[in-house]
Amino acid sequence: MTAETLFLPRDLPLWRDARPYLDVRNNDEHTIIAYALARRLVALTPGAEESVVLPAILLHDVGWKKVPEDLLLHAVGRKPTRPDLVRDHELYGVEIAREILERHAPEGVDIDAVCEIIDGHDTVKEAKSLNDAVVKDADKGWRSTPHGMRTIGGWYGVGPDEVLIMLEEKSNPLMLTPAGRALAEGQTTAVRTEMMIEACLGHGPEFTTALPPGKGADKWQRN
């Protein structure tokens, strides 16, 4: 899979312009996964509009670029000391996203609706709309993915147990749609259960190292 196959053709120019703003706090990696989750959640959520949800999730974190990098980890986490910076990144994000959207003027995209979601995607816990709920779920649902758990653990130097506790107690309860909640709770349940394999079988999982991308893919190619 490449950027050309992950992102819709309408959204690919937005991604290219957003990338320079996403190279902090692993936001480029986060955005790729959150976009893929958003595509799936839109498909599972009747009434959700991909023309609003996908540009919003693609651009939602561009504002972190304007926050001093040495302050980023003070803005989030279990005991943040600078929660005001979360609001700052939303306001910066609206400014940057609007400029990108107006420059490209993607067909069928309601720019005001996209910016309204970016403005408050972290600080407003309740959903302003169904589209907003899907964006929030894709954003926070990333935390429960293997990539999200590894990234969060790396930020704070904590192990999987502590990350799972944070997800189960603080993050998963914030999911707003049935599909989003199933996504988050299913993934955290799977990871926690994997950690129980040794207790149940007397040994850990047989396979612990993933194959490099593309390795063995030819065995699964469709005819």
Please report, for the chain, the start and end positions of each structural domain, with discontinuous segments joined by +: 3-202
- Residue 169 identity: E
> What is the pLDDT tens value at each position of the chain, 223 positions in all?
677 889 999 999 999 999 999 999 899 999 999 999 999 999 999 999 999 999 999 999 999 999 988 887 777 766 777 888 889 999 999 999 999 999 999 999 999 999 999 999 999 999 999 999 999 999 999 999 999 999 999 988 899 999 999 999 999 999 999 999 999 999 999 999 999 998 999 998 888 876 676 666 566 555 5
Closest CA to 182 of 46, 40, 77, 15: 40
Give the single-character DSSP code of 189.
H
The token pair that represents 86 in the structure block? 């979360």
CATH homologous superfamily of 3-202: Hypothetical protein af1432 (1.10.3210.10)
Distance (Å, whole) CA 72 – CA 15: 22
Distance (Å, whole) CA 75 – CA 85: 6
Helix (H, G, I), strand (E, B) or coil at 132: helix
Distance (Å, whole) CA 142 – CA 175: 11
